[in-house]
Amino acid sequence: MAVEGLRRIDSTKIEIPRGYKPGMRTNGIIYVDRTLEKDLDIRSVEQVANVATLPGIVGPSMAMPDIHAGYGFAIGGVAAFDLKQGIISPGGVGYDINCGVRLVRSGLRKDKAIPKMRDIVEALYNRIPAGVGSKGTLRLNAQDQKRVLLKGAGWAVEQGFGSQEDLEHTESGGCMVGADPEIISRKAYDRGRAQQGTLGSGNHFTEVQFVEEIFDEKAASSLGLFKGDITVMIHTGSRGFGHQVCTDFLDVMQKAAHKYNIQLPDRELACAPFNSPEARDYIAAMKAAANYAWANRQCITHWVIESFLKVFNTDPKALGMGLVYDVAHNIAKVEEHDINGRKTKVIVHRKGSTRAFPPGHPEVPDAYKHIGQPVIIPGDMGRASYVLLGTEKGMKEALGSTCHGAGRVMSRHQAIKRARGRSIRREMEDMGVTVRYTGRSTLAEEMPEAYKNVTDVVDIVHNAGLSKKVARLKPLGVIKG
């Protein structure tokens, strides 16, 4: 049932008019077609409207087609704020700071890999710690912990977990400059100490896939993706460390909102003026958590490659494994955008949405400058995932942003209820996907039908011109927490 009071702009987007809710300073835009509009949750529409009430918002409060209700900001949300009049909000980044996803390519053909899928999945499961509260094999002393926060994926590469090329193929080079380890609470350090190099639980995974379909041969070839080749996708973030940073600063921001007289329609939207000391501290802490997450995904990538080397008893060159790209989908960044015809720096919040910069943009790595920034979109563990590229239209219309995944249609609780009496593992096996997991309820929560069909979501951002399809990847094996 469609939400009342919204106006359809075209086949791919609807508007939340400024009068939808008192206090809206701008309109809202939700990228959604008529089919997915029927599933729109009014709570998520309200959340997009709530963001539009925050001071200094520049352009519309936006949401991508994988929108669903979150805490404060909707998941799938994109919003930019002026650096002088605007705010920064931890709720616009999310609890799992720099939750993100990366894609590893290989020269391995699927017919060689499928007969060994059980061994591959077992090797991944044995090497990559996964599950609720999982602890890694890395033991970091206080100095190392600080180095992780300052250097991000670069720290992991210094430890021998990867190469310089991996950093070049990671958003922001795998490190946001300006992290301050001294601003981090003792509790965040405690929660993060044993979790570096771990997958965690929930929707996080490591998945073995093959390239099922190519939509753009030239671009796919530039990314090293060829039909029938094996790829590996890693989805995780900053673990308990990032959650604690967010929790710590939500408290700070509650007080700041009161101090600076900012009216909040929802306490999870707690924020501070961008140029306030509270905002400066949060940004320094958020960058530290973002760097923690990039180091985490870099370490896991190393163990993925090690696992494949072990199963195929070969050398890295023969396997041809390398990082395609790594994107953050819970983050806030200062970026330059064309606002009303003028190049302007704004603070862009992306919560459950992905940066998607066009060809030629200075932040796109040299190897991909001619095609645009790769965007990695994980779907559910049964159907598909996608590789997209950023476009000029997306840069102009949506602050160079696109969707981040499939988006849930069922709550975790609903999914567990729906899975009662079924063997999700066996259903996955029947679909040709080998699954290894630690928590049975995690598997139920994450069953394919708990999510929208990622193809429907991706088709909307493709048809809207926010990003363009390059390849579809099909899952073969997955490890989950």
Partner 1 sequence: MFDTYGYIGRSFSVNLKNNSLSAVISGGVFDPRVNESRLLIKAATYHGLSVKKAGSGWEATVIFDI
Secondary structure of 222-242 in HEC code, one letter for each residue: HHCCCCCEEEEEEEECCHHHH
Q: What is the DSSP letter of 79?
A: E
> Does the footprint of partner 1 cover residue 135 (CB under 8 A)?
yes
Smallest separation, CB 237 to partner 1 (Å): 11
Among 439, 449, 463, 465, binds partner 1 (CB under 8 A): 439
> Does the footprint of partner 1 cover residue 418 (CB under 8 A)?
no
> Does the footprint of partner 1 cover residue 247 (CB under 8 A)?
yes
Buried b (16+ CB within 10 A) or exposed e, 321-352: bbbbbbbbbbbbbebebeeeeeeeebbbbbbb
* Cα end-to-end distance, the chain, whole Å: 35
Separation between Cα atoms, residue 67 and residue 57, nearest integer Å: 20
Residues 57-96: x/- map of binding to partner 1 (CB under 8 A)? --------------xx----------------------x-
The two tokens of residue 435 are 């699954």
> Does the footprint of partner 1 cover residue 425 (CB under 8 A)?
no
> Does the footprint of partner 1 cover residue 185 (CB under 8 A)?
no
> Does the footprint of partner 1 cover residue 131 (CB under 8 A)?
yes
CB atoms near residue 435 (< 10 Å):
24
Among 441, 455, 463, 465, binds partner 1 (CB under 8 A): 441
Nearest alpha carbon to residue 398 among 113, 65, 92, 36: 65
Among 246, 299, 443, 458, binds partner 1 (CB under 8 A): 246
Among 195, 236, 298, 453, binds partner 1 (CB under 8 A): 195
Separation between Cα atoms, residue 467 and residue 303, nearest integer Å: 31
| Whether residue 404 lies in the annotated active site | yes
- Count of residues near partner 1 by CB under 8 A: 31
> Does the footprint of partner 1 cover residue 254 (CB under 8 A)?
yes
Q: Quick one: which segment of 7-15, 267-275, 278-286, 461-469 binds partner 1 (CB under 8 A)?
A: 267-275
> Does the footprint of partner 1 cover residue 412 (CB under 8 A)?
yes
The two tokens of residue 331 are 């983050």
434 with 121: CB under 8 angstroms?
A: yes
78 with 66: CB under 8 angstroms?
A: no
> Does the footprint of partner 1 cover residue 438 (CB under 8 A)?
yes
Q: Quick one: which segment of 9-17, 152-160, 240-248, 319-327 binds partner 1 (CB under 8 A)?
A: 240-248
Separation between Cα atoms, residue 345 and residue 351, nearest integer Å: 19
> Does the footprint of partner 1 cover residue 133 (CB under 8 A)?
yes
> Does the footprint of partner 1 cover residue 201 (CB under 8 A)?
yes
Nearest alpha carbon to residue 303 among 136, 439, 171: 136
Q: Out of 68, 349, 361, 404, pick the active-site residue.
A: 404
> Does the footprint of partner 1 cover residue 203 (CB under 8 A)?
no
Beta bridge partner(s), residue 377 = 386
Residue 43's contacts (CB-CB under 8 Å, 6 or more residues apart) are: 69
Smallest separation, CB 201 to partner 1 (Å): 7
Separation between Cα atoms, residue 44 and residue 476, nearest integer Å: 33
> Does the footprint of partner 1 cover residue 268 (CB under 8 A)?
yes
> Does the footprint of partner 1 cover residue 202 (CB under 8 A)?
yes
Residue nearer to partner 1 on the CB measure, 268 or 278: 268
Active site residues: 404
Q: Given the rule CB under 8 A, which residues bind partner 1?
A: 71-72, 95, 131-133, 135, 190-191, 193-195, 201-202, 240, 243, 246-247, 250, 254, 266-268, 270, 412, 438-442, 481
